A and B are shown apart, each in its own frame.
Chain A
Amino acid sequence: AQTVTQSQPEMSVQEAETVTLSCTYDTSENNYYLFWYKQPPSRQMILVIRQEAYKQQNATENRFSVNFQKAAKSFSLKISDSQLGDTAMYFCAFMKLSGTASKLTFGTGTRLQVTL
């Protein structure tokens, strides 16, 4: 079974600064996907970024980028130029590839507060 660990329950960052959220996972699979989702106070779960394990290049989406270290089973999220709207719970998730349906395993989340 896969496990996903987010060791930072809460973090705070000032507006315009950079913050990095940590995530580690445990799996015996070689092919898989990793995701970061954000859940703002509205409770809507929103996809932030996705990384395919077979790709060596780190994924980027505007101000969001990841540091994917496959050997270390680490998948951190960097948010640059933080904005107030980035305040949310951030969940790291692992997806094992399956022929029938994709199944996500989530971490417990990191609550990020962006302050003025």
Chain B
Amino acid sequence: ETGVTQTPRHLVMGMTNKKSLKCEQHLGHNAMYWYKQSAKKPLELMFVYSLEERVENNSVPSRFSPECPNSSHLFLHLHTLQPEDSALYLCASSLQSGGGSTDTQYFGPGTRLTVL
């Protein structure tokens, strides 16, 4: 248990569906991240939120829409996905201190997404 939870753990959706992934951290952190983990590829950073502002968007298609309403919650809204978007989506959080030792990222258990 890392203090970062994700729901749902598994999700199957059609290409025309709209769904959302939820991440919640109980660590008092102020930065949150979405990663995509596909088979045989390195983890890909998708979005970074620091102090509730999006500071990174790594050329992610607009069918993925993140939302960070507060420092404890992070959502990833999904719509009109493609089968190649099937992957494990991992959320992480960290405490930003300008480069101090607390910048370590702690991960949630992930959501296994399958797009039919």
**A: interface residue count bin:** 20 to 34
| A-contact bits for B93-110, CB 8 A (1 contact / 0 none) | 010101101011111111
CA–CA, A98 to B55, complex, Å? 11
Give the shortest distance, in Å, between A78 (CB) and chain B (any CB): 20
Cross-chain contact A101 with B50 (CB below 8 angstroms): yes
Q: Which of A46, A102, A104 contacts B96 (CB 8 A)?
A: A102
With a CB–CB cut-off of 8 A, which chain A residues contact B48? 100-101, 103
CA–CA, A85 to B15, complex, Å? 38
Cross-chain contact B104 with A47 (CB below 8 angstroms): yes
| Residue ID in chain B nearest A95 by CB atoms | B103
| A-contact bits for B38-73, CB 8 A (1 contact / 0 none) | 001111010011100001100000000000000000
Query: Among residues 34 to 83 in chain A, which have CB atoms less than 8 Å away from a CB atom of chain B?
Result: 35, 37, 42-47, 50, 52
With a CB–CB cut-off of 8 A, which chain B residues contact A102? 31, 94, 96, 103-105
Given contacts A50-B104, A97-B99, contact A103 B88 (CB under 8 A): no
